[in-house]
Amino acid sequence: MRSSKQRDEVLKVLKSSCDHPTADMIYERVKEKIPNISLGTVYRNLGQLHDEGLITIVESSDKKVHYEGNLEDHIHFLCKKCDVITDIFHKNEVPKVFDNLGHLVESQKTVYYGICKDCRNNI
């Protein structure tokens, strides 16, 4: 994949974001640095970055697509009330099970759905 100013900025925004932004959110952040960028360019670069394995996609309960630049192994908790996505970092023993079977786990994608602490406190 050829580097470009726009792609580099989209990736930079994602690498510095902890809130799992949507394409529209990324567009607004990138637009601060590159005012003439189009939403289409952001979408195209997100697709290319995802195809190259440099970012991941997380789908929320309302079917909005969120993007993430953190490729460390972790799972997500998605609140069904407020749609906040929380990263949960842990030592996962599951790959060892596959390793014992002779399989090679290269990545995982786990999402838990429920109600976050803040929303539970407001019920």
pLDDT at 92 (0 to 100): 67
pLDDT at 86 (0 to 100): 92
Q: Is the pLDDT of residue 100 over 80?
A: yes
67 to 15, 45, 64, 104: CA distances (angstroms) = 10, 12, 10, 25
Type of residue numbered 84: V
pLDDT (average), residues 63-90: 89
The domains of the chain, with CATH numbers, are 5-68 (1.10.10.10), 75-121 (3.30.1490.190)
pLDDT at 1 (0 to 100): 53
Q: Is the pLDDT of residue 72 over 80?
A: yes
Using pLDDT thresholds of 50, 70 and 90, give the confidence band for residue 91. low
Helix axes 39-51, 5-15, angle to 10 degrees: 70
The residue to which tokens 């930079």 are assigned: 12
In degrees, rounded to 5, the angle at the alpha carbon of residue 24 between the alpha carbons of residues 113 and 40 is: 125
Parallel/antiparallel/unpaired status of strands 75-79 and 85-88: antiparallel
Helix spans in the chain (H): 5-15, 23-33, 39-51, 94-100, 117-121
**pTM given for the model:** 0.82
User: Three-class SS of residue 29?
Assistant: helix
pLDDT (average), residues 47-57: 95
User: How crowded is the C-beta side of 47, counted as CA atoms within 13 Å?
Assistant: 6
